[in-house]
Amino acid sequence: MDIESIKTKANNYIQVESEEPFRSEVQNLLRDENWTELSDRFYTEIEFGTGGLRGVIGGGFNRINPYIVRRASAGMAAYMVEVGNADSVVIAHDSRRYSKEFALNTALVFAAYGIKAFLFSELRPTPELSFAIRELGASGGVVVTASHNPPDYNGYKVYWNDGAQVVAPHDTAIIHKVLEIQGAPKAMSLADAKSAGLLEYIDEDIDAKFVEMVKSNVVRPDLLREYGAAAKVVYTPLHGTGAYLVERALGEFNVQVSTVPEQREPDGEFPTVTSPNPEEGAALEMAIAQGRREQAAIVIGTDPDADRIGIAVPDAGDFRLVTGNQLGALLVDYVFSSRAELGTLPPRPAFIKTIVTTELQRRIAEHLGAECYDTLTGFKHIAGLIRDFEQQEEGPNYVIGGEESYGYMIGTAVRDKDAVTATVLAVEMALYHVSQGKSVLQRLEELYIEHGYFQEETISEYFSGRQGQEIMQGMMKTLREDPPKVFGELTVKKVKDYQNGTSFDWASGRTSSDIDLPRSNVLQYYLEDGSIVSARPSGTEPKIKFYASCCDDDELPLPEAKERVAEKLDMVREEIRGWIQKAKENAGE
């Protein structure tokens, strides 16, 4: 981008951005003639994708700031008015920099369009936002959060009237409306919005109802009360939104919760962790250390907006991290087997997982009598299936579902991943196995023996800036047009392309249009032994995620099966690393 174009765009931004320090950031960059930084802020506009926005906080069209938030809100509000779904919205925010300010900006724009905003006065978890939309009968909602991203990020997620993130046709239609907004979006003043009855703060009433919903999903409440009083749960909200509701829900079952004091208070700088991501073991280090000291029954962490959960459990005098796939398998096993035993399963009980989640969960659920369904990655797709179920006469009844990245949804009162309910259920599951004289890990080993050994690994590669986007696009193009035939000694049998909705069989050479899911830029390679390798660019971050799920069905003793699967993962990992290196070399890195 040439300097004159940068100047023009920067001055356009200064004209439409009313708030400091965002205007002055850009003015100072112009004064200092920092063309490199200005180019990064203006070479493109931050994309309002199908789920909303996520990006680095700062002044500029390629950043998250008050203008971008107001523009997104105006586009969504205009669309809601157009389709006659414009009664009210619920707005929540997390602990990040400017989250509270962005949430208020959002509310005042909706008010300007005549849409009442129910605004949480302080930070609240994402699942409570979804719950509140349904509880209040709102037309939609917004949560200001960047989930587990680094401190300099923030984001904006949009929801429809069923409490789920927007899906087709609303998602693309909202994007078009956002792009139509030119100039400074209209917004009411706080005083005018309040006096017009278009802004109402909500807090304790929704909190109480949300906690009751969480408690209603407990399978064996008496067991939780009996064993929870004697066991200790170490918990960390990782400086986010989870502490109040997690402590309250568990406390109402008399469970002893010991929250990591250094990480309990909300802090958008996340000062005690490199990344507030429960997928990464390092995020739980302080909690695990406290768990050792206090001899905890389980260690749990939730991410900043409390929609994802990570756990560690006792293992030979120390603690072992449990993966998202493993925890999902344990929860599926516990919920379906327990509810079947207690006679509380609905007719046609249903389980939903994403296409990159381990097949072990399907085997467990089907063994326990559940109908099983796959969706694309993202809980909006799980929610979409639930919506389809509810429209059928005597259709399937959703019980539980999840994805490999530590996200789970129990019941239907929340239509997004919910770490608050998942935390309570994980504690219950762990204490149940203790009551049966075994550990969580012993139950996991039993599941492997019964259903086959599975091991998964996710490889994420970041590609920042304009060149990064080009590398990602080039890599996916190559993998699509020239798919691998082998991973080490493992032959590829089938290739699924979710962008085209097709499957290609190497043996017959035939392509079939047999994928009945929304189009998505995902490739999957099915290997001869049942292992699956997937490639998917992230929808929220500048990275490609590769998912490897390797298994062994030869009924070997478990130690031998683990060894064989580890060897398979090594072969897959080496192949993927080769793809990444080649893509970077082709780009001249």
Active site residues: 147
Q: How many residues does the chain have?
A: 589
Please answer whether residues 58 and 25 qualify as being in contact, where contact means their C-beta atoms are separated by less than 8 angstroms. Answer: yes
- The radius of gyration computed from the CA coordinates of the chain, to the nearest angstrom, equals 24
Please answer whether residues 456 and 548 qualify as being in contact, where contact means their C-beta atoms are separated by less than 8 angstroms. Answer: yes
Q: Which residues pair with 492 in a beta bridge?
A: 527
**Residue 379, both tokens:** 């809980």
Alpha-carbon distance 169 to 566, whole Å? 43
Read off the amino acid at residue 165.
Q
Q: Is 40 helix (H, G, I), strand (E, B) or coil?
A: helix
Please answer whether residues 458 and 545 qualify as being in contact, where contact means their C-beta atoms are separated by less than 8 angstroms. Answer: yes
| Ranges of H-type helices in 258-358 | 261-264, 285-294, 324-342
Alpha-carbon distance 499 to 439, whole Å? 42
Q: Is 132 helix (H, G, I), strand (E, B) or coil?
A: helix
Query: Residue 504: enclosing H or E segment and its boundaries?
Result: strand 502-505
How crowded is residue 340: how many other Cβ atoms within 10 Å of its Cβ? 14
**CA distances from residue 36 to 14, 23, 388, 571 in whole angstroms, order as listed:** 18, 18, 49, 41
Q: Which residues pair with 523 in a beta bridge?
A: 497, 535
Query: Residue 387: enclosing H or E segment and its boundaries?
Result: helix 379-391
DSSP state letters, 216-279: HT-S-HHHHHHHHTTSEEEEE-TTSS-HHHHHHHHHTTT-EEEE-HHHHS--TT-TT-S---TT
Alpha-carbon distance 572 to 236, whole Å? 34
Read off the amino acid at residue 434.
V
Comparing CA positions, the residue from 482, 442, 453, 496 lying closest to residue 579 is: 482
| Ranges of H-type helices in 403-486 | 419-435, 440-451, 465-481
Calculate ∠ Cα 328-332-337, nearest 5°: 155
Residues ≥6 apart with Cβ < 8 Å to 398: 350, 352, 385, 386, 389, 411, 412
Running DSSP on this structure, what letter comes out for residue 346? Answer: P
